[in-house]
A = this chain, B = another copy of it.
Amino acid sequence: MADSPILSVKVRLRERDGFALGPGKADLLEAIRDTASLASAARKLHLSHTKARRLLEEMGNSFRAPLVVLTRGGKDGGGAELTEHGQHILTAFRAMEAEAIGALEPLAARFQAFLVNQG
């Protein structure tokens, strides 16, 4: 979710039958980048390991090239890191969220005078 004090914007990329990427998957990519571990990334986001794996699998099915490589095995998930492509996609997605906030902030500001408790 991209947020400003007066605005929240949830951006999701569509694919034919659903969504290829949204804030949850982007958060997972970011947490993998930051922790280098799927299990740690899942913990950081308060996701079950099953849910984290499912999101990764969905991204694997959505994108032509891998966004993440699993660097070690093991039943708790092991190591994981973003590919260069994954980093590129994550950066581009965050830029799109920032663009949304930037474009809408002036419009959202016009509502503020009409609110009892401004954002």
Interface residues of A (CB under 8 A from B): 3-17, 19-21, 61-65, 85, 89, 92-93, 95-96, 99-100, 103-104, 107-108, 110-111, 114-119
In the complex, which residue of chain B has the Cβ closest to the Cβ of A10? B10
- Distance between Cα atoms of A95 and B89 in the complex (Å): 29
- Distance between Cα atoms of A97 and B65 in the complex (Å): 32
- Distance between Cα atoms of A7 and B8 in the complex (Å): 16
Across the interface, which residues of B come within 8 angstroms of A6, CB to CB? 13-14
Across the interface, which residues of B come within 8 angstroms of A108, CB to CB? 13, 96
Across the interface, which residues of B come within 8 angstroms of A11, CB to CB? 7-9, 104
- Distance between Cα atoms of A8 and B12 in the complex (Å): 5
